[in-house]
Structure 1
Amino acid sequence: MVYTADKPPLPETAEQLRARIPGWGADLDPRDRPSVPRESPLPTGAHWDLPEQQPELVPRERSMEHARLTPVFGTSAPLKGASGVVRRYAYRRFSEGRAAHWLLLIAADRVDAVEGHLASFVTSRPDNPVTETGVLGEAGHHPVASRRGRVDVRHAALDPVIVAGPWVLAGGLAFAGARRVLRRVRA
């Protein structure tokens, strides 16, 4: 009984559980339970037995553990590009209980970030890694004093490499590619 207004029945009755498990139900006496008035069965106010299913206009990723989508689901970020292909593969091929499922979703997030950076180059305002990562902000506001006493001081020297490294690498590859193309055109 999935997504209904009614509480699903227990697999065993309270008497069966009490007979099978010593001490089961010790807190069932209403006089011993301070929350009983709040737990009394009140009408839920639901005017449905099964909520109306939201229409699926675009195919959505769904877990292989579930027969259908939840009655209401998000549509604000539809799958697109290579990251969408990786996400679809993760949901189609692996159960949510497998590490491969989640590792593929993390990889898809990284692919989506790269796709976003590449897409920014065709806009009128491409990404600016220097200002958007806050590298200059720390340099202008007491960089040594602000790091004193922090636990992450040891890897502070790696921060510029981690932030700027991918951009420098991409710039170097673009330069090498442009240079190779120019050599072929001149020859």
Structure 2
Amino acid sequence: MAIRWLRLAGFDLYTRKASGGQFGFSVAGGRIQGHVDGVINAAPSDLGLKCPSLWECKTMNDKSWRDTVKHGVARSKPVYAAQMAIYQAYMEATVPGISRNPALFTAINKDSQEIWFELVPFDGGLAQRMSDRAVRVISASESRELLPRHATTPTHFECKFCPWQDRCWRAT
């Protein structure tokens, strides 16, 4: 629906390649990869949005959505900000200029259907830190090195939802 709304508002938004697949990137032998929600090629001129721009869309419950509106995506949802920075950095090779322009972040409130739009400037430092982190994880995996855990107990709320919880905590 968000794709349709943006197109009806005058955005030239691409969400699929001519071959039908999503736009994305793959590096490090496919161990670092991602698929973007869309690339904006043009926007209504009165918005002043520079293109090409990355488009990222998320749905959130009311509490999460309100926090994002109040604090901005970089502070409220740093994982999403990191995702956009990585996408902008790695997509630059196939979509020249995408890292020079702010990404358009769209958040849809699942409870009220309210919509939040936010322009997120490219953060090259964040993209580099996340890329370095991914390389560190790959290197550790290849050398069978166990990296420090994010949490101190298997009952930590993020660990409880992780599909690797049993394997991760079995080593202790």
TM-score tier after normalising by the smaller chain length: under 0.3
- The normalised TM-score by structure 1 is 0.21
Query: Which structure carries more helix by proportion?
Result: 1
Q: Which has the higher contact order (CA 8 A, sep 6+)?
A: 2
- The normalised TM-score by structure 2 is 0.22
Query: Which structure carries more strand by proportion?
Result: 2
